[in-house]
Amino acid sequence: MKQKLNVNMIKKQNRRNIFYEIITNAPISRLSISQNLHLSLGTVTTVVEELINRGVVKEEKDTQTSVGRKPNIINFVPKAKRIICIDMATRHFSFSLKDLSLRSEFSYRYHFDKTKNYETNFRIFLETMKAKVLSNENLRNTIGIGVSVPGPYSAKDDRISCKLIPEITKINPRRIISEYYKGPILLDHDVKLAATSEVKLIPGFNHKVILYLYLDEGVGSAISINGGIYSGADEFAGEIGQMVIGNEKFENLVSWKTLLARLDLVKEDNDELIKPDALKSRFNDKEPRLMGELDNIIRIAGKTIANIICVLNPHYVILGGKYKIFGKRFIEALESETKKYLIEDLKKNLHFRLSNHLESGPLLGAGSIVRDYWLDNP
């Protein structure tokens, strides 16, 4: 059933829009915010006062104005609050301590101890995280923990669905993390989190349909409709890796692990895969064997993506994951192959692009959902 717009939803949206306007354009005046967002000055003033009281913006006289009455300008204070972002996408857990602009202040990567079970490793990681960043001062200023997980997450059951790391399905991650941190803890699928942060870089994203593809050790996607991630009835929407192509799952045909296996660069029992950059020079040199395997992957992916486009009719297709390292030539080849199977009307407003993120997209998305939660719950 379609959710009806109410006063509280409008207030939340106005608060987010004003906050992001300040982040993007500070220093800025209340009047400029009002004009840019087409909101009343009263609405802007109410939200700005609230943000001042929460310590994340400050207002002062514009000392740059040389004549006339000096206006008040608003500045953003990103280090006033902090967010912990945890990545559980591999067994080698990591976390970043980020400020409100989602810039990392401190990062740490844990090396999984194969002599211990999964939960024990995770608890050791959390103990280390607590010791390194949850001092009394940081604890007071930390607004929540965002967690990127390698598969759909059920908040009701506190369970992660993941074939790549079977042990992760046996633990209750939110319950365990809550033993080390008592504030808000938000978990979501890494692909959806990456898409959450990525789609906001598209002009007018809140009025567009965007397909985000994540071609990595696993294969997934996320669908953004008017700025929101479409999750489906059971949080599984976008699981294109599970689509059956011929007699095989799409993921088994085009994943990064499949590519490395076909190039004889990884063994079945080796979970330490070759670094993506190690293949970049081979790609630049147009090594025949690599190019042949990539051509095959592009053919398979192009047909599959074309089928999805016929259903979604998106404005943008964004490619993230390890295949992004092959750059412009790869995305152009994928776009060309995909468009072979599309009618002209579907190609008219369709754009392909690579992910813009240099940092981990899922971690940025994890920070983003915590920040939005904090904004929505003053």
Burial class (CB in 10 A: 0-12, 13-18, 19+), 287: middle
In SS3 terms, the chain reads as: CCCCCCHHHHHHHHHHHHHHHHHHHCCECHHHHHHHHCCCHHHHHHHHHHHHHCCCEEEEECCCCCCCCCCEEEEECHHHCEEEEEECCCCCCEEEEEECCCCEEEEEECCCCCCCCHHHHHHHHHHHHHHHHCCHHHHHHEEEEEEEECCCEECCCCEECCCCCHHHHHCCHHHHHHCCCCCCEEEEEHHHHHHHHHHCCCCCHHHCEEEEEEECCCEEEEEEECCEEECCCCCCCCCHHHCEECCEEHHHHHCHHHHHHHCCCCCCCCCCCCCCHHHHHHHHCCCHHHHHHHHHHHHHHHHHHHHHHHHHCCCEEEEECHHHHHHHHHHHHHHHHHHCCCCHHHHCCCEEEECCCCCCHHHHHHHHHHHHHHHHCC
Residue 2: its pLDDT value, please? 47
Residue 357 binned pLDDT confidence (cut-offs 50, 70, 90): low
Average pLDDT, the chain: 89
Residue 70 binned pLDDT confidence (cut-offs 50, 70, 90): low
Residue 1 binned pLDDT confidence (cut-offs 50, 70, 90): very low
Closest CA to 253 of 211, 319, 302, 210: 302
Average pLDDT over residues 90-95: 93
Q: What is the pLDDT of residues 6-27, one digit of tens each?
A: 788 888 889 999 999 999 898 9
Domains of the chain listed by start with CATH number? 7-76 (1.10.10.10), 81-193+361-376 (3.30.420.40), 202-354 (3.30.420.40)
pLDDT: which is higher, 232 or 6: 232
Residue 274 binned pLDDT confidence (cut-offs 50, 70, 90): confident
Which amino acid type is present at position 314?
Answer: P
The pTM score is 0.80
Beta-carbon contacts of 281 under 8 Å, excluding residues fewer than 6 positions away, are: none
Residue 5 binned pLDDT confidence (cut-offs 50, 70, 90): low
